[in-house]
A and B are shown apart, each in its own frame.
Chain A
Amino acid sequence: SDTHMPECYTPAAGSERVIRVEPRRGPYRIAVANGHTGIPWRMQMIRSVKAWAAKPENAADIAELKIVSTGADVAAQIAAIDNFIQAGYDAVAFIAVNPKAFDAVIRRARTAGTVLVSFDNPVDNPDVVRITPEWMEFEGAIKTRAVLDQMPRKAGTVLEVRGIPGNSTDRDRHAGFRQVIDEHPEIRVVEVVGNWDTGTVQKVVSDALAVHGRFDAVVCQHGCRGVTNALLAAGHPKVPVGGDAENGFVRALAENGIPGISVSTSPGQGPVAVRAAIALLKGESLPALVNLPTPHVRTADMKPGVNYFPDMPDTYETVSGYAACGPDMVFTPDELMRQSADGN
């Protein structure tokens, strides 16, 4: 079966399932239900959704775009989706606070005919389109392997900086890391928990350096600016570091010539998900589980103004969108910054 824009909405390996709904005529009422508040990534995601929707060619399809952030409480997010269903929205795109918690509301959505699209932290439910990086590949095949490549000798100690315990994404990314690193039995792994928080990462990495003295590479999930900070503060030799795509981290790699790789889960997922919802409403079919191409760049290839932005905040996500998903999916910083206080 041929699905919509396969170069962008690539089906996950081994998932044949395709989703298609009764087409209906636009323009559509779309809602985005975000969870956690006060996190830069989420804010940029919201911005890029608005930026995308503001483009005239897309605006035509959208009668109403409602974006809410319900915070960490799963009950609140479920209520938000229920309310959008009740209010007769055509589609709801959401980042689940917890991938297991939405089966009931997904059923209610199906009966009510509301299209759900889950992204970034996808729900474990085959009945909705789920758009996500392939976390194991993301952390393993791409990030960890790149780090290994840049290690002069594939031996010694590698420091893994993990995310928030009990979170399924952390679990998958750790698995991906392990999958690759275990191919090298001579490499010893030291594991610390950074909670995806720059300050905590810096603290635990500094501790690890103080105790273990020296590492041959570092693989970090998020908040990786903390890794470079710690390494530089300790005058540690410049070993390969794999990390996120926050402006601060990429800059630190580039400007200090630290070998490594920046792998991005871009906030551009937001508009990609919204566009998927609209495509479904228009009658296009999509794979049930979409794996987004994973943008990444090695230190050697980093260019200012392209891969990092000296005059943007350190928390700015340098990869604003998915080029593979078409020209309308890449955003310039000021394009995003313009999407701010205007109500919706």
Chain B
Amino acid sequence: MIPLVRALPRPVAAPGPAGVIALALVVLLLAGGLADPRFFSPAYLLQQLHTGAFLGVIAIGAMVVILTGHIDLSVPWTLSAAATFSTAFVGAAGEGAQGELGLLVGLAVGAGIGLVNGIGVAYLRLPSMIWTLAVNMVVLGVCVLHAGLYASGSRPSAVMATLGGGWIGSLVPNAVVVWMVLSAAAVFLLRRTVAGRCLYAVGTRESAAWLSGIDTRRVLLGAFVISGLCSAVAGMLLAGYANQAYQRMGDPYLLPGIAAVVLGGTSILGGRGSYGGCVAGVLLITLITSMLSLLQVPEAFKQIAYGGVIILMVGYYSRRAAAERA
């Protein structure tokens, strides 16, 4: 496999994002463990994986979009909309086989919103940060109107409930399995497929990619559709986990999703980043948030710690990159 960029600088082998975060995770766990040994309990760690899985699925979409040098701010309401409409369908169609078609409805909603995002960014060449923001508001509007018109069901289908909330035995949460499967797909996409190469190329220099005979517009479109689908999956998993779909259920996931990708060493400018880091980033964010809240740290200091970690980590990456350059 030919790496897109050199994995490690030859002379100074400073650890990369994944390594650093692994380190950070260990430190965090030790620190937490000293504060309260129960942080070591497998129950707790599995719990972190479980809640991390939702963020992880979202981060996959976020990373794909960020690799192209864009950003998707429509995650919150794409997630809510997918959950709302899929559960509404279940409510209308009733439980059982036909109710499970709600899964497809949810995916369709996600893909549809991704399509709108993509058309605006790739074909109309509008800045993603604003276009997706506007799309987010429109989807919010649609959901409010929908809720205003119909008292539709908000309960997940059996499959959603199992995937979102169920466990394999009491060993592994199904959501984690879903996350792992999607992760494998993501890795394959990014490392082995032409599409993956195109994502990196477009993110590095779209004009050059276009002149190389790539329809860069379709690449961008695809990236946003993937992001929409990931949000939709996360939404339905979350509905299954919470046994209900409810409005604003996506709000807590936008910034952590982006932060996880960035902590994972993906360049916000696009073109650089590896999926391993992204996973590590998700785990780090999940663990930090959870530990701080369990240690009863006041919100103010949570926020401060959150920002501090990002600055430290990303600052380290950029210094390391600089060291690599000269």
- List the interface of chain A (C-beta within 8 A of B): 37-40, 43, 165-166, 190-193, 195, 197-200, 202-204, 206-208, 210-213, 225-226, 229, 233, 248, 312-316, 333, 337, 340-341
Contacts and interface: CB of A to CB of B under 8 A. Distances in A.
Contacts of A341: 145, 148-149
Contacts of B46: 210
B175 to A, nearest CB: 12
30 contacts: A37-B144, A40-B147, A40-B246, A43-B148, A165-B299, A190-B296, A191-B296, A193-B299, A197-B251, A197-B252, A198-B244, A198-B246, A206-B47, A207-B290, A207-B293, A210-B44, A210-B47, A211-B36, A211-B294, A226-B242, A229-B241, A229-B243, A248-B154, A313-B151, A313-B152, A313-B154, A314-B154, A314-B246, A315-B154, A315-B246
B294 A207 contact: yes
Contacts of A206: 47, 50-51
Contacts of B41: 210-211
Contacts of A197: 248-249, 251-252
Nearest to B244: A314
Nearest to B155: A314
Contacts, number: 108
A43 B84 CA distance: 16
A197 B50 CA distance: 18
Contact of B242 (A40, A166, A198): A198
Contact of B44 (A191, A202, A211, A316): A211
B143 A200 contact: no
B247 A166 contact: no
Nearest to B246: A315
Contact of A316 (B144, B151, B242): B151
A337 B238 CA distance: 26
Interface residues of B, number: 43
B123 to A, nearest CB: 29
A193 B289 CA distance: 11
Interface string B144-165: 1101111111110000000001
Contacts of B205: none
B192 interface: no
A225 B243 contact: yes
B238 to A, nearest CB: 6
B39 interface: yes
Contacts of A37: 140, 144
Given A229-B241, A233-B165, A340-B150, 14 more contacts: A38-B143, A38-B247, A191-B296, A195-B252, A199-B242, A199-B246, A199-B252, A207-B294, A212-B38, A225-B243, A229-B242, A248-B154, A248-B243, A340-B148
A193 B155 CA distance: 25
A161 to B, nearest CB: 11
A172 B252 CA distance: 24
Interface string B237-276: 0100111101111011000000000000000000000000
Contacts of B149: 340-341
